[in-house]
Each structure stands twice: as structure tokens, then as C-alpha cells.
Amino acid sequence: MSEQTESVVGSAADGDERRVLPPRITIPSIRGEMVHLRPAVLDDLERLDQLDAFYNASGITGKDRASERAAVNAWVRRSVAWSEGRASAEPGVGDPESRPTIAWAILTDADRDGDGVVDAEATNNVIGMIFLIDIDGWSRSARIQVVLGKDYRGRGYSRDAMPRVMTFGFAPRPAGLGMHRIWVAVPEKNTRSLSVYQSLGFIPSGTSRDALWDAENNKYQDLIVMDMLTDEYDPIHSLEVFGMHVFEDNPGVKEALSAREHSLAIRQHAHSADDAGTPAAGDTVQTPGSEPVVQPQEPQSAHVVTADAAVQADLSPVAALAASIAAEDADQSGKQSHHTLEGEEHWPHSSHDRQPSKQAWWRTIGRKRERRTEGNV
């Protein structure tokens, strides 16, 4: 971030000043496997029109096409204004009720039809945008939304981009935004998006009844609000569930992994205390009048790489950390399974038995899902 940003961010520890957003922000570029993100510019608005990005807006966001287009235009202008450190007098930028927004253009180098030409060459590789909207420094909350061109939906691009933006959003300042909560709002009929968000770890937290008009079916529909808190976010499994890799050079990744390792260490310590006196795998146990019995060792998941193996493979420090965390995670999962009743369904994102966020355990979705190589997730 810029010096101006750092001076504001570092002005106080956990004081009110810490909850004041800086007057200027440096929007980082973010790398993905299928896409890469750069700060959006005003010229990208015309590219969204070329991409027909507001097609079926009512079915995706519940807004009509004109309203969605106007909102996106305002978001990009606010993002550019914030990155330039100006409070513009333009409509939608200087409004005191409007909170800051960060807008990234989503770009791809893919040539899916194999004709030797990049699919999105006509729009300078731009296929859509992703936003952190209504960034509230006081409550440390932001909303995330993705807008893709009509021909680029359903290919897995948003699944590659969203976890990486969320990692930046949750990472502590100055590496990230230091958000406590990131949320989404989805029309009830958009079941596909609801499923994707739940897979990422979002939990339904409320319903705005009849908040949207469904023009296709000529009736009102509910707006579903889903959110995730910082201690519920898992930067590894949020990507692993869709077969994606963590890139250590992306903003906020090292900080997110470090925070997760700390949480795992606390959890491991608690389990060790609970299991005190319980024979460990490989130990020999003998009761009076019986033969010695060796406790069976639990098989390790084939895909988990231990920390020692990571060092031997000459992985980077962050990659080694990720491998160590994965091994710890697998061990914790095995311990958890002993406390699950036979036949009991365990879904970590269930809103019915959700634990308080301060006790939330890192999500374990996607651990056994195979990595996909064709790019469609």
C-alpha cells in the first residue's frame, strides 16, 4: 500500500482510528489459475457492454438490466476515485451515504476453442469484473459480487477469483483490508450461485422477504443474505474445493496462512489436553490377564503431504506451511470422526448446528475431491 495508506492504517492499535478507511488505497493485482485480476479502469465499462455482461441481470442479482449497469458504473468510478485519493463530485462518488468500493477487471488468456486466438481478444482479455462493495471500515464489513460476460458464465472463472479476493479482504492491514465480515445477497431463484457460495463457506444469515421482483414469473421473490466471518475463512480449502492452488505471492496469502496455522495450533493443543491418557496410535496397551495389543495407526490420506516431505521436495516456506497445515487438518478430521455417530451426516456449513464464530473450526470441504484439469469446475 502507499505511504499515505500505511500512515492511516498504523496510526493506532485497535482504536477508533484503526476503523477509519484510508483516504487512498493501492489496489493490488491478483493472480489465479484461470484468470488474473487487475484494478478496473473506466475504459473497462465499455468492455462490459461488449461482453453483454448485464444479460439476465434480474435472474442473477434481482435487478433490472439498466439498474445493474448503473450500479456497476458507479462502483468502478468509486474504485478509481479511491485509488486516486480524491473525493469526486461525480454522481455516485461524492455521496456521503456511499461507502468505498474496490473493482477488479477479470482477465483470461484462455484459448478454449484452440484456434490460436485468445477468447477475449476483442475486449483486451477482459471477461468481467469482481467487486468488494460497501466497504465499511467501522464494522469491517464488505459485500462481494462478480459480473461476467454472457459467454463466460458457468466456466469456473468466478470460483477461481472469489477466494483470492476474499483472502485479500480478510487479511490484516496493511497486507489486506482487515475485514471481519464478507457477505453476499442472492435472489432465491438463483440456486446455482447459492450452491457455489455455500461451497465457499458462506452461511445463510437472513432473508429479506419479497425484496425483489421476478419479472420472468411475474411475482416477488426473497433475497437471501449469506455471510462469512474472518475466523471462519479457510484460504486453502476455499480453493481446494474447486481444485485450485494457493499462490503465495498473492496479497494477504502469507498472513492468512499464518493466522490459520495459529488457529490450528490452538485447536491441536485443546485436543491434546482432551486426549491426555488416551493411547496413541502405535502404542502398546496391555490389560491384566490379556495379551499386549498394539493400537492401530490410522491411514493417512493419499493426497496429504507432510511438512518433512515438503522440505525434502524443496518447497517454498509458504508451500511447506500449507502442507503442514493440510497434515494437521487431516489429523483433526480423523479425531473428529470418532465423535460422529454412525450414519450421522456432517455438513460443516449447516446453519442448524453452527458454532459461534469465535469457536468456528476451519472448513474441511473438498478434501477428497479430485483436482480438475480441464478448467471447467
State the maximum Cα–Cα separation within the chain, in Å, rounded to a whole number. 87
Mind spelling out the 3-state secondary structure of the chain? Answer: CCHHHHHHHCCCCCCHHHHCCCCCCCCCCEECCCCEEEECCCHHHHHHHHCCCCCCHHHHCCCCHHHHHHHHHHHHHHHHHHHCCCCCCCCCCCCCCCCCCEEEEEECCCCCCCCCCCCCHHHCCEEEEEEEEEEECCCCEEEEEEEECHHHCCCCHHHHHHHHHHHHHHCCCCCCCCCCEEEEEEECCCHHHHHHHHHHCCEEEEEEEEEEEECCCCEEEEEEEEEEEHHHCCCCHHHHCCCCCCCCCCCCHHHHHHHHHHHHHHHHHHHHHHCCCCCCCCCEECCCCCCCEECCCCCCCCCCCCHHHHHHCCCCHHHHHHHHHHHHHHHHHHHHHCCCCCCCCCCCCCCCCCCCHHHCCCCCCCCCCCCCCCCCC
CA nearest neighbour of 325 among 249, 251, 248, 273: 248
Provide the 10 A C-beta neighbour count for residue 50: 12
CATH number of 3-233: 3.40.630.30
Q: What is the pLDDT of residue 357?
A: 45
For the chain, residues classed under CATH 3.40.630.30 are 3-233
Paired with 100 in beta bridges are none
Of 26-40, 281-295, 335-349, the one with minimum mean pLDDT is 335-349
Specify the higher pLDDT residue, 176 or 287: 176
- Cell numbers at 225, concatenated: 443474505
Stretch among 6-15, 75-84, 185-194, 220-229 having the lowest mean pLDDT: 6-15
Cα-atom radius of gyration of the chain, to the nearest Å? 23
Q: Which of 78-82, 145-149, 198-202, 208-212 has the lowest mean pLDDT?
A: 198-202
Q: Structure pTM? A: 0.69
CB neighbours of residue 353 within 10 Å: 8
Looking at residue 73, its pLDDT comes to 96
Pairwise pLDDT comparison (293 vs 72), residue with the higher score: 72
The mean pLDDT value for 53-74 works out to: 91
Answer whether 108's CB lies under 8 Å from 84's CB.
no
Strands 141-148 and 181-187: parallel
